């Protein structure tokens, strides 16, 4: 279903002049896309009997780094060609390339690039490979997942008027490591169609990085693009409905298992808002009328809690483990309903590391675990500071009441605490907004819409309440919130009543 649809989207059909065009498959694997491509090219050849088979040698280039997968693909394609009456070896030798597409030196100029790039997280790649990709590609850093490189390299191959269509994660549109790629596409290409297929069984197995079909053309940028938001039940029959709607030039179509809408594009490297039409309309309207959360009386701002690099050593529930002055009350999701948890704190309030000679119990405790602490990267980088945590304590947060939100959640569940946050939580501090009223607003559907539109989603619809997405939340000024709404939001927080929070939040956002 997916391969045929994507080839249709770029115009790779037997009735078109594909026998005089080049299509590139940058990661062909076991040939799911390539076999469909070959069938269509052979269909074109049947329409042009005067063209010899050898003339098709420059029509396909399929890469893969996996020799075993490429051998399996070669066998499958060979059989398909033989069934068509084609002597296969000449074509196979030209079409199939064993090598790393991202590092392969090529002067190819493609009319089409189509496929399913691998999704490998940066942390799962060997360090030397990451360095090589970052040195070779402008949109790739050491922290970039590999599929971003496939986008960049493939876009560079396109001729003017050429088209790229991938099915892979759409995270690059909504996270930090996609910033350079967003800037490149917005400047030099035209994002034409995005079909978000989150939770659709487009693959044979479940994946964390939900897939999307993305169509980008090498042509002048247009200010809008077509966005298809699919439900989990989306299937082959719906593909036909979407194709008919697109071919008919329709921009706003609601099917039983999909919604097709036309959305405005952001400029530069800004994140793309992607959600259902009602959510995007609300978000865009609110962004036009209100200020970002950090400009609405959030004096210190938004951030993440402390990362230690060894929680087993730095976190404790034992209030007598070391000197009382070296234990900092900590908020940790895992311990939120249990007795208090503490950070074994190696930092002074001025930001310097504590002198272990002045704290003998702290010294004895850290020396007991010295082997583990010294193996950490942060300790190897600064051997004299082997007992430090990865992050320093932000002294301006000490003793301050904060709103904390967990990194992951199907819905926002903020709390108010004066304990220092662990890195599994993001914090919000405000000198103007009443914290209880602000939490009432944050737990509401209207605010969730911002995270839904701008945030990357994980398996099961789980949202990421990260600082980069929280900063896109726009709020009315506290001074503009009526007293009745303020008290209603406070009451919603105190009761933990999400429906009540929704009712008062809608009043707060009312034009």
Query: In this predicted structure, what is the pLDDT of residue 389?
Result: 97
Total residue count of the chain as it appears in this document: 511
Tell me if 36 sits within 8 A of 1, measured CB to CB.
no
Tell me if 19 sits within 8 A of 65, measured CB to CB.
no
Residue ending a domain, among 106, 125, 145, is: 106
Q: Is residue 177 part of a domain?
A: no
User: Is 70 exceeded by the pLDDT of residue 10?
Assistant: yes
Burial class (CB in 10 A: 0-12, 13-18, 19+), 499: exposed
Furthest CA-CA distance within the chain: 90
Distance CA 157, CA 160 (A): 10
Sequence-distant (6+) residues with CB within 8 A of 241 are 253, 255, 258
Query: In this predicted structure, what is the pLDDT of residue 207?
Result: 46
Q: Is residue 172 part of a domain?
A: no
Q: Is residue 263 part of a domain?
A: no
User: Is 80 exceeded by the pLDDT of residue 321?
Assistant: yes
Torsion of CA 479, 485, 490, 494, to 10 degrees: -170
Residue ending a domain, among 58, 85, 106, is: 106
Domains of the chain: total:
2
Please report, for the domain that includes residue 466, its CATH number: 3.90.220
Q: Is residue 53 part of a domain?
A: yes
pLDDT in tens, 61-77: 999 999 999 999 999 99
Tell me if 21 sits within 8 A of 111, measured CB to CB.
yes
The SS3 of residue 99 is coil
Torsion of CA 294, 295, 297, 302, to 10 degrees: 10
Query: In this predicted structure, what is the pLDDT of residue 465?
Result: 73
Tell me if 9 sits within 8 A of 165, measured CB to CB.
yes
Find the range with the poorest average confidence among 18-27, 348-357, 449-458.
449-458
Quick one: average pLDDT of 106-119?
94
Record the tokens describing residue 87, joined without a space.
Answer: 């002597």
Tell me if 273 sits within 8 A of 454, measured CB to CB.
yes
Q: Which residue has the tokens 């190897």?
A: 380
pLDDT in tens, 416-441: 999 999 998 899 999 889 999 999 99
Sequence-distant (6+) residues with CB within 8 A of 88 are 77, 78, 81, 82
Query: In this predicted structure, what is the pLDDT of residue 407?
Result: 72
Query: In this predicted structure, what is the pLDDT of residue 461?
Result: 56
* pLDDT, the chain, mean: 90
Sequence-distant (6+) residues with CB within 8 A of 295 are none
Distance CA 183, CA 269 (A): 4
Structural domain for 316, as ranges: 301-352+392-508
Distance CA 331, CA 490 (A): 22
Q: Is residue 440 part of a domain?
A: yes
Q: Is residue 181 part of a domain?
A: no
Tell me if 352 sits within 8 A of 393, measured CB to CB.
no
Higher pLDDT, 40 or 288: 40
For 220: left if phi > 0, alpha if psi spans -120 to 50, otherwise beta; the answer is: beta
Query: In this predicted structure, what is the pLDDT of residue 116?
Result: 94
With pLDDT > 90 as the criterion, what percentage of the chain qualifies?
A: 70
Give the confidence band of 60 by pLDDT, cuts at 50, 70, 90: very high
Quick one: average pLDDT of 299-312?
88
The 3-class secondary structure across 19-36, one letter per residue, is: HHCCEEECCCCCCHHHHH
Give the confidence band of 338 by pLDDT, cuts at 50, 70, 90: low
Q: Is residue 193 part of a domain?
A: no
Tell me if 388 sits within 8 A of 346, measured CB to CB.
yes
Distance CA 189, CA 183 (A): 10
pLDDT in tens, 199-239: 776 544 444 456 899 999 999 999 999 999 998 888 888 88
The SS3 of residue 247 is helix
Give the confidence band of 332 by pLDDT, cuts at 50, 70, 90: confident
Residue ending a domain, among 88, 106, 124, is: 106
Sequence-distant (6+) residues with CB within 8 A of 101 are 26, 27, 63, 64, 65, 150, 153
Higher pLDDT, 323 or 89: 323
Quick one: average pLDDT of 377-390?
95
User: Is 70 exceeded by the pLDDT of residue 369?
Assistant: yes
Q: Is residue 436 part of a domain?
A: yes
Q: Which residue has the tokens 């997968």?
A: 69
Tell me if 28 sits within 8 A of 3, measured CB to CB.
no
Question: In Å, how far are 198, 405, 484, 491, 496 from 487, measured between CA atoms?
Answer: 38, 22, 5, 6, 14
The DSSP string of 27-69 is --TTSHHHHHHHHHHHHHHHH-TTS-GGGGGGSEEEEES-HHH
Neighbouring C-alpha atoms within 13 Å toward the C-beta of 71: 3
- 463-464 vs 408-409, strand pairing mode: antiparallel
pLDDT in tens, 160-201: 999 999 999 998 998 889 999 999 999 999 999 999 987 776
């Amino acid at each position: 279903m997916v391969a045929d649809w994507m080839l249709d989207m770029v115009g790779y059909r037997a009735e078109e002049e594909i026998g005089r065009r080049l299509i590139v498959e940058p990661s062909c694997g076991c040939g799911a896309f390539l076999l469909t491509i070959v069938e269509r090219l052979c269909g074109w050849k049947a329409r042009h009997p005067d063209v010899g088979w050898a003339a098709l040698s420059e029509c396909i280039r399929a890469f893969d780094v996996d020799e075993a997968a490429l051998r399996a693909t070669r066998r499958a394609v060979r059989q398909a060609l033989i069934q068509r009456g084609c002597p296969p070896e000449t074509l196979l030798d030209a079409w199939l390339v064993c090598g790393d597409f991202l590092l392969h030196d090529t002067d190819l100029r493609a009319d089409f690039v189509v496929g399913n790039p691998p999704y490998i997280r940066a942390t799962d790649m060997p360090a030397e490979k990451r360095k090589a990709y970052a040195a070779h590609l402008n949109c790739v850093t050491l922290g970039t997942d590999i599929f971003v490189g496939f986008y960049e390299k493939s876009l560079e191959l396109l001729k003017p008027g050429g088209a790229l269509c991938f099915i892979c994660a759409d995270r690059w549109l909504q996270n930090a490591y996609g910033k350079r790629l967003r800037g490149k596409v917005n400047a030099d290409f035209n994002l034409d169609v995005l079909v978000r297929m989150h939770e659709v069984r487009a693959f044979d197995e479940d994946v964390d990085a939900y897939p999307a079909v993305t169509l980008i053309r090498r042509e002048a940028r247009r200010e809008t693009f077509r966005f298809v938001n699919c439900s989990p039940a989306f299937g082959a029959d719906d593909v036909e409905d979407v194709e008919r709607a697109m071919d008919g030039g329709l921009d706003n179509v609601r099917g039983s298992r999909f919604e097709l809408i036309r959305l405005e594009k952001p400029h530069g490297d800004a994140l793309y808002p992607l959600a259902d039409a009602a959510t995007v309309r609300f978000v865009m309207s609110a962004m036009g009328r209100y200020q970002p959360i950090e400009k609405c009386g959030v004096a210190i701002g938004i951030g993440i809690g402390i990362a230690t690099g060894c929680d087993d050593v730095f976190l404790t529930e034992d209030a007598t483990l070391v000197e009382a002055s070296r234990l900092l009350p900590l908020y940790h999701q895992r311990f939120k309903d249990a007795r208090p948890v503490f950070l074994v704190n190696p930092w002074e309030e001025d930001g310097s590391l504590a002198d272990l000679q002045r704290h003998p119990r702290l010294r004895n405790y850290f020396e007991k675990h010295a082997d583990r602490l010294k193996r950490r990267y942060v300790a190897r980088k600064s051997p004299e500071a082997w007992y430090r945590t990865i992050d320093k304590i932000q002294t301006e947060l000490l003793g301050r009441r904060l709103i904390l939100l967990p990194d992951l959640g199907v819905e926002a569940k903020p709390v108010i605490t004066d304990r220092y946050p662990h890195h599994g939580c993001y914090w919000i501090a405000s000198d103007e907004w009443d914290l209880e009223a602000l939490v009432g607003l944050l737990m509401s559907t209207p605010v969730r819409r911002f995270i839904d539109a701008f945030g990357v989603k994980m398996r099961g619809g789980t949202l990421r309440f990260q600082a980069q997405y929280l900063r896109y939340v726009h709020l009315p000024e506290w001074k503009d919130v009526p007293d009745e709404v303020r008290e209603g939001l406070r009451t919603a927080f105190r009761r933990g009543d999400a429906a009540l929070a929704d009712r008062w939040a809608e009043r707060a956002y009312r034009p």
